[in-house]
Structure 1
Amino acid sequence: MREIDQTAQDSYIAQLLKEENSLKKQSRQASEDLGLARISISPAEATLVKTLLKVHGAKKFVEIGTLTGLSAQYFFEALPEGGELWTLEKDPKHAEKAHSVFSQLDQSKKKVHLVIGDAREELPKLEAQGPFDGVFIDGNKAAYLDYLLWAEKNLRRGGLILADNIFLSGAVWGGTTTQRFSEKQISIMQEFNRRLADPNLYEGAVVPTFEGLYIAIKK
């Protein structure tokens, strides 16, 4: 069987997707200006998680890892009227770029709340707003398991968990990577993936994107 040309595949998918609007382009440009374009969510992955959120019907959603506000815009669009998004970002420079975008969104029918600070410290402060309908995990890789344990306590039954970068560029299965990950990061991500794969806790599936996306429903 012939292997698929990844570059050609990406180009074909890009042709099928609707061009991102000016605010999304602003977020992408901000990531490039910060030298972080490589970790911005791709248009294909962004439309995937947006669709999943919309199908699930989540109204109260938490994003861990705002960066410059790109993925948050997709989640915001997927929320129904009356929906709320809480998005957490540790780096003030990143948060400043995201705030600039969020201030231009029409929030008359739904809201986005930017929370600045370490997610492990800020998440407990959000618990009074719960239970939540879903969470997107895309923050500090060494804290993924902490984020998951928080989600287990604060998502409703049937809540949606989306977790990006679960492959660590192949490090979780011992692959050679250009990006260096610590043994702690690798061990935590392996445990994180095993926990989401536990059928007693979740109904889930792995989407084999370049970096890996876990989709799970809390039982």
Structure 2
Amino acid sequence: MDSAEDQWIRSDVYHNSFLVPDDDALAYAQKASADNNLPAIAVSVAQGKYLNLLARSIGAKNVLEVGTLGGYSTIWLARALPEDGKLISLELSPKHAEVARGNIAYAGLNNKVEIIVGPAAESIKKLQPEPPFDFIFIDADKSGNLTYFLEAKRLVKKGGVIIVDNVVRQGRVADLSFSGPYVDGVRRFLEHLKTDKDVDATTIATVGEKGWDGFTYIIRL
């Protein structure tokens, strides 16, 4: 009997075979990230396509990403933008940013993407976009989720969307016997959302090649 994880991976691969064509630029980004020993924590193929569809569905033109890594999700999101669209991505690691820039250049998206290197909690506070962002994707250190969200709420337009990734973490967030900086960071973020009248939100759990996790989908009211 296959494990649950094996079944989730098989399901992702099966659905992707119909819905996500092979893509040279995305494959290049995955290989370059692996060859440079970046952690294997980028969004999955299906999740990348989902982010792309979400951004397209709201007609996003200005996007903020918190956490670049190797630029895999960056490419998916930048491809959702019109020719005059802009994506700003915040990344702590100079090495990750260098790899991401190479991947983004290979994908032909230099004209749409700017990567800002430094602690995201500092970089995000300096942003003053005009017009505000339409779509914000938060996928950085989970201990900083509340900080990133509060700034994202300031930066996103009314009716805009904020997605916060990795909020289920194999069910550990809901297991109150478990504690750790990333899990506790997600809990602080959720506790804030409970009383925040400026937004409406829901968490969707996911299973797939990245295991059991989920994201919180937020609309700025």
Instruction: Give the TM-score band, short-chain normalised.
Output: 0.7 to 0.9
1:45-64 correspondence runs (5 A): 45-64=47-66
1:104-123 correspondence runs (5 A): 104-107=106-109, 111-123=112-124
Q: 1:12 — aligned with what?
A: 14
Q: 2:209 — aligned with what?
A: none
Matched residues in 1 for 2:35 and 2:83: separation? 33
Q: 2:188 — aligned with what?
A: 191
Q: What is the TM-score of this pair, normalised by structure 2?
A: 0.85
Report whether the alignment pairs 1:208 with 2:209: no
Percent identity over paired residues: 30
**Counterparts in 2 of 1:150 and 1:208: CA distance versus 1, 3 Å:** same
* Structure 1 position 143, deviation (Å): 0.7
Secondary structure, counterpart of 2:200 in structure 1: strand
Any conservation in 2 of the 1:31–1:40 contact (CA below 8 Å)?
no
Per mean C-alpha deviation after superposition, the further-off stretch among 44-53 and 188-197 is 188-197
Q: 1:102 — aligned with what?
A: 104
Aligned length: 212
Matched residues in 2 for 1:72 and 1:7: separation? 23
* Structure 1 position 92, deviation (Å): 1.0
Report whether the alignment pairs 1:146 with 2:147: yes
Higher RCO (Cα < 8 Å, 6 or more apart): 2
Matched residues in 2 for 1:199 and 1:24: separation? 37
**Counterparts in 2 of 1:216 and 1:128: CA distance versus 1, 3 Å:** closer
* Structure 1 position 130, deviation (Å): 4.8
Matched residues in 1 for 2:118 and 2:96: separation? 11
Report whether the alignment pairs 1:126 with 2:123: no
Any conservation in 2 of the 1:170–1:176 contact (CA below 8 Å)?
no
Which one-letter code corresponds to 2:189 in the other structure? F
* Structure 1 position 98, deviation (Å): 0.7
Secondary structure, counterpart of 1:139 in structure 2: coil
Matched residues in 2 for 1:78 and 1:20: separation? 17
Which one-letter code corresponds to 2:159 in the other structure? G
Q: Which runs of 5+ in 2 are unaligned?
A: 207-211
Matched residues in 1 for 2:69 and 2:22: separation? 17
Matched residues in 2 for 1:217 and 1:41: separation? 21
